Amino acid sequence: MTYQVPVDDIMRALKTAVDLDGLIADGVYAGLDEDTVRAVIEEAGKFGSEVLDPLNWNGDREGSRLKDGVVYTPSGWKEAYRQFAEGGWSALPCPEEYGGQGLPGVLSMAACEIWNATNLSFGLCPLLTQGAIDALHADGSDELKAIYLPKMVSGEWTGTMNLTEPQAGSDLAAIRSKAVKQPDGTYRIFGTKIFITYGDHELTDNIVHMVLARLPDAPVGTRGISLFLVPKRLVNSDGSLGARNDVVCAGLEHKLGIHASPTCVMKFGEADGAVGYLVGQENRGLNTMFIMMNAARLAVGIQGVAVAERATQRAVVYAKDRKQGRTATSKPGEMGAIVEHADIRRTLLTMKSLTQAARSICLVTAREIDVAHRGATDEIRKAAANKAALLTPIAKAFSTDIGCEVASMGVQIHGGMGFVEETGAAQYYRDARILPIYEGTNGIQAIDLVMRKLPLDGGTVVTAYIGEIANTAMEVKASNRPEFGRMGERLSEAVDALVAATGFMAQNLQNSPESALAGATPYLRLFGLAAGQHYLARAALAESRDGGDGGNAIALARFFAENLLVAAPGLAETVIGGAEAILGVDPDRISV
Amino acid sequence: MTYQVPVDDIMRALKTAVDLDGLIADGVYAGLDEDTVRAVIEEAGKFGSEVLDPLNWNGDREGSRLKDGVVYTPSGWKEAYRQFAEGGWSALPCPEEYGGQGLPGVLSMAACEIWNATNLSFGLCPLLTQGAIDALHADGSDELKAIYLPKMVSGEWTGTMNLTEPQAGSDLAAIRSKAVKQPDGTYRIFGTKIFITYGDHELTDNIVHMVLARLPDAPVGTRGISLFLVPKRLVNSDGSLGARNDVVCAGLEHKLGIHASPTCVMKFGEADGAVGYLVGQENRGLNTMFIMMNAARLAVGIQGVAVAERATQRAVVYAKDRKQGRTATSKPGEMGAIVEHADIRRTLLTMKSLTQAARSICLVTAREIDVAHRGATDEIRKAAANKAALLTPIAKAFSTDIGCEVASMGVQIHGGMGFVEETGAAQYYRDARILPIYEGTNGIQAIDLVMRKLPLDGGTVVTAYIGEIANTAMEVKASNRPEFGRMGERLSEAVDALVAATGFMAQNLQNSPESALAGATPYLRLFGLAAGQHYLARAALAESRDGGDGGNAIALARFFAENLLVAAPGLAETVIGGAEAILGVDPDRISV
């Protein structure tokens, strides 16, 4: 089945969770209007469904291949990439001074969902290029920016993130790649990086690698890591391409999913060293890398939404088409469509409501990043930056967890056909599985939320956010709408659960951090459910107030509250009462 | 890493959940003793780890292939199968009069776990043969039994189940395959069956297909389906093999997982009809098929346990080996093993405790089937049959759901390496995904539990079982062991939740069955969690009483109670309060 851009669902999230109208009125999104936003999403949807979606299945079968030192992407990829760049899609959120369109991040994330829903393997290429652009724009020298940014913004060159080494995955302190300063101010880079997405390909003439490495005299640990720009091909002073740099793709991983996206082992400095240019200051590379990483984490969250959306679309179409068993409405002796079975409908509503909840969380996070850059006052910008920081690990981890869950439900809806690769549902299940892993595993996200984000600004950031949810709960209750069912009650219970669990974290962070860490993952899940319901409820309130978009806002919000959010009190119990059972077990006693 | 048979975990389930000692003393397992049981498990484990486990990875890579009408299993398969049959493993639970060893089903299921943990694709072959043996033994004529059973018991021939047709998956009433009676009393079978596991292969000289088909004058629906034995090669009266029957494998599915297990499209009667022999009575085939299916459902549950066990073993080894990040006990400047991180330990304990909970449920179900056959009185046998009927859908669905979840956690523990196929964790994730689908989707199991099993014997069967769990809760509370933490409290809450949810089902089954069906899946999950905790708690009580096996019985039971069972009240809320939000949504309004 062909992908259909969920324009109403995206617009609903933008209007009711992001408050698009308010931001336009406030001048944060100056020059934009709702019609333009909708038109961009529809246009992106057209590109996604017409160009990227048809390549997705063959891309998975064919995969990317390494031959004689060159990485070849699947058939059709190069032409699609050319169209993508020519259409200006790579320039969407980029600074206008470098040829970008300067559109808000929230709109860029909406488009990012579309690229990844239609073709996750393709979508990774611009996703990582965007991270490299952000890092270079933030901390690169004017000269580097002038040389590289216009070509990256236009899509003429792509970008990569080179962090991981075999011994340094989640723990970047263990990075060993070396950088040696040269008399001319450049550096020579030596080392092996693994899991480098689009580390090599033939889509563009050049690739701009952002590489973490250590100077010989650097302090140990994360305070001794520097960031370098290492082009695949050197660039002459007139902007033309020069010699090949000393960097090669030494191998591709054979993966569970995203087969079309080349995951490269990259060797730097096998000969006399790869020429690199410092980005930012020596030994401060991790700060810049976190700019890339935070943006990439949100984008990976969007990938979770994207794969969930695509899996849901396929499942809905199948459930309406496939007839099996008698249903309440089927004629005697005839079978009904399986969507009419209550258990199937439960699954589909679970898929749809989880997807919309995660989408809303991600778009609100993008909104806060926009406000952090464009807000009217320091105070507004600071508050938005803090809220974005709080929400980023939830956007990444909650969305990618539900991405896997929804993709798995998508397989199940198809019954035996779901297990047959040609059906297509299985590819989403395979592709989705990387999302909770890369850009910081979801366990790392949970630790980040608890250890770094809860204490932000003395805990006032999280308190204010929970206050927001509590207000929504009160509004739902006050609305007294019978069609809301027990939504207000359930959301209040979830707020109570979140308050209790957050209090437990606050109490333990200083004196018993292990007790806090033991509950980090269920805490993040609890937070994601409550935040997701918050936005679904706001959409329901809007629908009940003004009729909304004629969609399922009320139905989804009510379903989520009465069927999924009910997990909240149990999750709080786990956070508060479950740590001892974990910490009391000596790791040595966990054996096979 | 090499598979290690979890002999202590299996023995603990057999001793504390199954009450092996009691059954031996009662004479149900006459002639057996604990040492023999342990020896059989260890011997099976040896075969599994030495023969089947080493073939698993290559089997996945190579897959089964159809060439010139012949299905070839991967390298090494034929020799492994020969050893399996020669070792007498296929005969384990079979009747002694046909050459079997007559060992209890509970021991057969323990061995089944081992075959499937080491090689799920291989394990399917004997699993389905066993189903065919059960059906033939139950309802076949003496002549058919005399010809076919000894060869199937010895493993000389294998068996299949031919149910599914393109339009008849979950709904067998839609079967169209035809059977035409011949003057000599045999039948000719015509039709196409899909998803036939080991429908063809070169492991044995003959294959015994059990096929559902319809007679020309049969009533519509499930009351018009008959069961036929259709051999791949006809058997002469002296027992030697005759001509090829009119049945061929027309294609193999290209699947997400279990690549080595050939999933066949089978064509019967492309020429003048496949010769078939009626098993049981005309039009009563579904009754016999349900004998196979119930046994197969339990065995599939065991497959869920198996893949969970294997995924857990690999994850534990990796988590102890892989060093990343500072931990509470790592030296300054050094990284600790990731098992020392609280979040990783939470995941591993989740994997281990879910696996042991599901294992216990499955082995208890096998025990009840044994007692249903071997119990001393009619009353005992009847009660056991009812309990087995109640537990079978839970054994199947809960165990296979957690099989997928645990396999997914196993990928996650490995980080980026988990997504690389060579690591091996991804194969379990792919293989496991079929388990919630085949032998009746888990949605069908939930419907079976609610619609057919709760009303058994006027509801007394489920009431008695919940009473069992309640007694365990009281025992835990009364024991007053501080090391149990809040286990007693949590189990009591879960019993309350289960009582409330069961009450809701009882109230709605007659007058509002859709309301009951809407909550069937969360109800089954609630039931599985409570039952799982019941058995984990019994093991903990035993360990606290007599020191147990020196394992982690108390630690796992406490962890499960305080971290997983806490979901019980929320699940009950979903069952009781969630239906309206589902049934209120018109299927037409669920759109992409």
Q: What domains can you pick out in chain A, each with its CATH number?
A: 7-153 (1.10.540.10), 158-283 (2.40.110.20), 288-582 (1.20.140.10)
**A514 → closest Cβ in B328, B485, B590:** B328
Nearest residue, CB atoms, B577 vs list A6, A411, A562 = A562
**A 151-180 near B (Cβ less than 8 A):** 164, 167, 169-171, 174
Task: Tell me whether residues B170 and A324 touch, CB distance under 8 A.
Answer: yes
Question: CA separation (Å) from B247 to B66, B167, B234?
Answer: 15, 20, 11
Tell me the pLDDT tens digit for each residue of A253-279. 999 999 999 999 999 999 999 999 999
Q: Enter the tokens of residue A301.
A: 């969250």
Find the radius of gyration of the CA atoms of chain B: 24
Cα–Cα distance between A276 and A234 in angstroms, integer? Answer: 10
Residue A548 predicted with pLDDT over 70: no
How many angstroms separate the CA of residue B544 from the nearest CA in chain A?
16
- Tens digit of pLDDT for each residue in B422-466? 999 999 999 999 999 999 999 999 999 999 999 999 999 999 999
Nearest partner of A284 among A185, A218, A229, A190, judged by Cα: A218
Count how many Cα atoms sit within 13 Å of the Cα of residue B125 in the half-sphere of its side chain. 32
- The identity of residue B19, as a single letter, is D
ipTM of predicted complex: 0.97
Are the C-beta atoms of A265 and A194 separated by less than 8 Å? yes
The gap from C-alpha B345 to its chain's centroid, in whole angstroms, comes to 27
pLDDT per residue as tens digits for the range A193-229: 999 999 999 999 999 999 999 999 999 999 999 999 9
For testing contact with chain A, the best of B10, B53, B303, B346 (most A CBs within 10 A): B346
Mean pLDDT of B37-42: 98
Alpha helices by DSSP H, B20-88: 20-26, 34-47, 53-62, 77-86
**B348 CB near a chain A CB, below 8 Å?**
yes
Chain A contact for B573 (CB, 8 A cutoff)? yes
Angle at A27 (CA atoms; ends A25, A30), nearest 5 degrees: 105
Does the beta-carbon distance from A316 to B592 stay under 8 Å? yes
Best residue of A223, A524, A585, A586 to probe chain B, by most B CBs closer than 10 Å: A585
- From chain A, the residues in CB contact with B416 under 8 A are 164, 169, 194-195, 437-438
Q: Do B443 and A255 touch (CB under 8 A)?
A: no
Residue B548 pLDDT > 70, yes or no? no
Point out the residue among A345, A419, A590 whose CB comes nearest to the CB of B590: A345
- Rounded to an integer, what distance in angstroms lies between the CA atom of residue B529 and that of residue B401? 12
- pLDDT averaged over every residue in chain B: 96
Task: Flag whether residue A321 sits within 8 Å of chain B, measured between CB atoms.
Answer: no
By percentage, how much of chain B surpasses pLDDT 90?
93
* Cβ–Cβ pairs < 8 A, chains A and B: 288
Q: Which tokens in the block code for residue B390?
A: 């109640």
Kindly report the backbone phi and psi dihedral angles of residue B215, in degrees, each rounded to the nearest multiple of 5, phi listed first.
-80, 155
pLDDT at residue A547 in the model: 76
Asked if residue B79 has pLDDT above 80, the reply is: yes
Assign B163 to helix, strand or coil: coil
Q: Classify the C-alpha dihedral A521-A524-A528-A534 as positive or negative.
A: positive
CB B164 within 8 A of CB B171: no
pLDDT in tens, B303-333: 999 999 999 999 999 999 999 998 877 888 8
Asked whether B66 and B21 are in contact (CB, 8 A), the reply is no
Yes or no: say if B561 and B491 are a contact pair by the CB < 8 Å rule: yes
What pLDDT is stored for residue B237 in this prediction? 86
Q: Which of B113, B309, B340, B439 is catalytic?
A: B439
Closest CA to A525 of A436, A402, A405: A402
Task: Give me the residue from A412, A437, A559 closest to B437, CB to CB.
Answer: A412
Instruction: Point out the residue among A421, A582, A592 whose CB comes nearest to the CB of B345.
Output: A582
Element of type H or E holding A445: helix A442-448
B213 pLDDT above the threshold of 70: yes
Q: What is the mean pLDDT of residues B12-41?
A: 96
Partner A contacted by B147 (CB < 8 A) = no
Active-site annotation holds for A468? no
Taking CA atoms, what residue in A is nearest to B484?
Answer: A581
Q: Do B257 and A195 touch (CB under 8 A)?
A: no
For residues A30-56, give the mean pLDDT. 97
A416 vs B555: CB contact, 8 Å cut-off? Answer: no
Cβ contact, residue pair B419, A194, below 8 Å: no
Task: In whole angstroms, give the CA distance from residue A414 to residue A411.
Answer: 5
Please tell me the distance from the alpha carbon of residue A412 to that of residue A426, in angstroms, as a whole number: 10
Asked if A527 and A449 count as a contact pair (C-beta separation under 8 A), the reply is yes
Q: Find chain A residues with C-beta within 8 A of B164's C-beta.
A: 416
Q: Amino acid letter at B11?
A: M
Q: Report, as an integer, the average pLDDT of A283-296.
A: 90
The shortest CB-CB distance from B559 to any of A348, A514, A582 is to A582
* Orientation angle between helical segments A520-546 and A460-479, nearest 10 degrees: 40
User: Is residue A37 within 8 Å of residue A11, measured between CB atoms?
Assistant: yes
Residue among B396, B394, A330 nearest A338 (CA): A330
The minimum CA-CA distance between A514 and chain B, rounded to whole Å, is: 7
